[in-house]
C-alpha cells in the first residue's frame, strides 16, 4: 500500500449556483454558503498533519463574463470574507496569500487583499491561497515575459517555476466539486503530476468528512511520476 504524503492541495470550488437553484434560491446565496465552506475546509487543512498549502480557485479571468450584478456581488462577498476571516487566520495560524491579477479589482478591495496578506505574513501553520482573477495560461505567459525582460535568452523549467506567481511545491492533489471533470485553466504548470479527484458534491455541501475520505483515497494511490 502506498503512503503518499499530501503537502499541497488544490480545489476548484464548483456548484454554488446550482446549489442555490436546486433550492429555489438566487445564485448569491449559493456563493455565501460556499464562502462558509471555504472556512471549514481551510481550518480542516490547518489541523491536518501534513498539508502545508491549500489553494482555492475563487475567481477566474473568465468569470468576468458572468452577469454584472453577480460579479459585483462576488467582489463585495470577497471583501466581507477577508474582513471576517482575519480572526480565523490568526486563531489558526494561517497565512493568507492571493494569486492572480488583482489590479483589475477596485482599489479598496486590492487594499483589503494586501492588508490581509501583510497581517498574516508570519503565520506558519498553513498557507491558504485564493486564486483571484486568475488564469494559468496568463500566469505562464507573464512568467516567460518576465524572464525575457530580465535578459534570459534560454530558460529552464526551474526558471519558469520561480517566475510564476505560485513558487510553491507542486500540487499533490486537485479536487473539483459538482461533477464537472476538467481543470479550467487552473495551475496548469503546477498540476503536471497531481492526482485528480472529481466529486459530484456541490461545493456548498462539501464537508471536511468527505475531504478526509478523499485524502484516504489519495494515500492509497500509486504515484509514478512518469516511472513504473
Please give the positions annotated as active site.
Answer: 14, 63
Greatest Cα-to-Cα distance within the chain, rounded to the nearest angstrom: 56
Please name the helix (run of DSSP H) or strand (run of DSSP E) that holds residue 128, with its range, or none: strand 126-134
Q: Kindly tell me the sign of the dihedral angle through the C-alpha atoms of 125, 131, 136, 142.
A: negative
- Nearest in space to 174 (alpha carbons), one of 31, 47, 3, 8: 8
Instruction: Give the residues across from 53 on adjacent strands.
Output: 8, 127
How far apart are the C-alpha atoms of 167 and 149, rounded to whole Å?
19
Q: How far apart are the first and last CA of the chain?
A: 15
Helix %, strand %, coil % for the chain, to 5?
A: 50, 15, 35
Joined grid coordinates for residue 64: 468576468
Amino acid at each position: 500500500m502506498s503512503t503518499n504524503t499530501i503537502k499541497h492541495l488544490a480545489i476548484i470550488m464548483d456548484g454554488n449556483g446550482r446549489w442555490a437553484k436546486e433550492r429555489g434560491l438566487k445564485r448569491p446565496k449559493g456563493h455565501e454558503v460556499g464562502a462558509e465552506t471555504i472556512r471549514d475546509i481551510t481550518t480542516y487543512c490547518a489541523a491536518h498533519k501534513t498539508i502545508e498549502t491549500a489553494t482555492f480557485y475563487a475567481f477566474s479571468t473568465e468569470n468576468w463574463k458572468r452577469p454584472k450584478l453577480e460579479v459585483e456581488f462576488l467582489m463585495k462577498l470577497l471583501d466581507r470574507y477577508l474582513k471576517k476571516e482575519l480572526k480565523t487566520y490568526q486563531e489558526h495560524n494561517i497565512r493568507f496569500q492571493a494569486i492572480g491579477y488583482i489590479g483589475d479589482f477596485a482599489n479598496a478591495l486590492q487594499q483589503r487583499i494586501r492588508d490581509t496578506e501583510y497581517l498574516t505574513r508570519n503565520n506558519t501553520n498553513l498557507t491558504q491561497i485564493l486564486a483571484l482573477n486568475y488564469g494559468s495560461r496568463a500566469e505562464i505567459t507573464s512568467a516567460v515575459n518576465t524572464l525575457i525582460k530580465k535578459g534570459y535568452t534560454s530558460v529552464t523549467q526551474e526558471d519558469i517555476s520561480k517566475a510564476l506567481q505560485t513558487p510553491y511545491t507542486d500540487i499533490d492533489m486537485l479536487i473539483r466539486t459538482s461533477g464537472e471533470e476538467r481543470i479550467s485553466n487552473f495551475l496548469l504548470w503546477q498540476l503536471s503530476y497531481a492526482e485528480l479527484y472529481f466529486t459530484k458534491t456541490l461545493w456548498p455541501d462539501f464537508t471536511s468528512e468527505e475531504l478526509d475520505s478523499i485524502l484516504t483515497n489519495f494515500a492509497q494511490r500509486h504515484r509514478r511520476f512518469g516511472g513504473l
